[in-house]
Amino acid sequence: MADTLNCPNCGAPLDYKGNDPIIRCPYCNTSVIVPDNLRGTPVFSSQPHNFTLTGMGGMGDMNAMVKQALRIKQVKDLALAGKMVEAERLYSEVTGADPVNAATAVEALARGMPVKLSSLNMSEVTSSVQQVTTVPSISIPPVDEKTARKVARRLGCGISCFVVAIVLFVLVVTLVPTLGAVTGVMVALNPKLALTVMPTIPELSTALAVEKTVVVVPSFATQELAFGGEGSGPGLFNDMRAIAVDSKTGKIFTSDYGDGRIQVFDPQGKYITQWIVEGKDPYIQSIAAGRNGNVYVPVFGKILVYNADGKLQTTIKPASLKDNYEEIALMADDSLMVVSRGENIIHLSNAGKVLSRVDSAISSNGGDTELSAKIAVDGLNNIYLLGSFNSGVFVFNSKGKFMNRFGSEGDQPGQLHGTSAIAVDGKGRIFISDSKGVQVFSNDGRYINVIKVEYFAYNLTLDDQGKLYLSTNQHKAEKYNIPQ
């Protein structure tokens, strides 16, 4: 069985089967150092202090790596000083990046943001640094047997050396995102060398200290769009609770909770039109937009079907008096999956014919009676019920057979408290809004990460490109880019 570890950047679970010291996260594309206990021993050469790292070729000499770290800092200093052209030129020289990527990276550095170097060609680095005259040369004396014995005496015993090595490894993993993988792996894999060399190189110690002060943990998601505000005018919201997006056209639909107003926006958040759901106190909590251009609004126990301009097309009424349609999610073929009476699952055709149903879906599968379940489906038509009163997710296949349950009440990562919405993206990742923000889980229920927000997200939806849309209690709609 493959060992499992988590990505230090996005927190995604990583399945590790080989013996390479570095693997790549499939979610955020970050290079991750594998802990010693999960991989084989690295292959060292017969020469003192030279080692070979699988998949990276020779590491080059220590002098080149030190100068490399200093040159990265020089790029940052140029960017902060506003010398963007010089910074971009040096960045391209150091990393081999094209002009567009170099400009993007330098702009980020000018804003004080860290830049990760995904790969470095050490042979190119060694040759390029030989031409640099602005950085003083740093010589590294070899460690002879006498010096080694002196270091061993200072460490005291093998246990002390082991403890120091572990501390250094943790430190280096923390610094890798800003210094690049090369320097970090060098120290992590040969901590004894670091112990004997680092105190003799003040330039390296300074570079490490400077970079450490600007480490920023990258967000799991980045905001692409935010629009709205409080009010009843076009483009403003009184109490927006639900949001939907038409993946075909990119149009965004929102609904206010109490006044029944449905608003339509273009993909950039520009107001297009609106319509009003007639009736007293409609209390709209869920809407859905189909690929057929229709908008589905559960209200007053039935489902109103509009076109994108707000013209009522049809009304889907419950087939049984015991049903009361409350929440809705669309299947891949635009058929409807709805929640009735808090926890009953009903599959409807696009015309409203009952295709199948599962009554008491939560309470009959080990949960308490649920009064307000939220629903989502994935590309395989698996069904996900989020129990607001059960603090858990109940998973069913497309036939309504119970498959799995995960989640528990609590405030720790992966636990649920104050839940309000659930959505599933094209990769099967599950997004749940609760008091901590928007938590992200793998399709088997393993916690991945959390999207921290300064507010509460009432409703979630995703488009076919994997973009996440939120309706918030700050009277705003927001759109996020999620690492793929």
Span 4-14, pLDDT tens digits: 577 766 666 77
Q: Which residue has the tokens 């599950």?
A: 430
Distance (Å, whole) CA 430 – CA 422: 7
Buried b (16+ CB within 10 A) or exposed e, 191-206: bbbbbbbeeebeebee
* All structural domains of the chain: 42-212 (no CATH), 222-481 (2.120.10.30)
Segment 380-400 mean pLDDT: 95
3-state SS class at 357:
strand
Distance (Å, whole) CA 161 – CA 198: 16
Q: Rg for the chain (alpha carbons), in Å?
A: 28
pLDDT higher than threshold 80 for residue 380: yes
pLDDT higher than threshold 50 for residue 119: no
- In the sheet that 344-348 helps form, which strands lie side by side, from edge to edge? 325-330, 336-340, 344-348, 354-358
Contact 103, 87 (CB under 8 A): no
Pick 344 or 134 by higher pLDDT.
344
Which residues, 6 or more positions from 401, have their beta carbon under 8 angstroms from its beta carbon?
A: none
**Range with the largest mean pLDDT of 35-39, 41-45, 76-80, 376-380:** 376-380
Which residues, 6 or more positions from 474, have their beta carbon under 8 angstroms from its beta carbon?
A: 454, 455
pLDDT for position 55: 36
pLDDT in tens, 49-100: 333 333 334 444 445 554 555 677 777 777 766 777 878 888 887 777 788 7
User: How many residues in total does the chain contain?
Assistant: 484
C-alpha closest to that of 234 among 266, 187, 189, 205:
266
462 phi/psi in degrees, rounded to 5: -130, 145
Distance (Å, whole) CA 218 – CA 403: 34
pLDDT for position 103: 82
Give the count of beta carbons closer than 10 Å to the beta carbon of residue 95. 24
pLDDT for position 191: 40
pLDDT for position 116: 55
Distance (Å, whole) CA 239 – CA 177: 41
**Range with the largest mean pLDDT of 132-141, 194-203, 401-410:** 401-410
Which residues, 6 or more positions from 52, have their beta carbon under 8 angstroms from its beta carbon?
A: 42, 43, 44, 45, 58, 59
C-alpha closest to that of 312 among 340, 277, 286:
277
pLDDT higher than threshold 90 for residue 406: yes
pLDDT for position 304: 97
Contact 6, 14 (CB under 8 A): yes
**Range with the largest mean pLDDT of 20-29, 104-113, 117-126:** 104-113
Sign for the pseudo-dihedral over CA of 150, 155, 156, 161? negative
Pick 22 or 308 by higher pLDDT.
308
**Average pLDDT taken over every residue of the chain:** 76
Q: Where are the alpha helices (DSSP H) in 190-279?
A: 191-197, 202-212
Pick 429 or 206 by higher pLDDT.
429
182 phi/psi in degrees, rounded to 5: -65, -55
pLDDT in tens, 210-235: 343 333 345 689 999 999 999 999 99
Sign for the pseudo-dihedral over CA of 406, 412, 414, 418? positive
pLDDT for position 128: 38
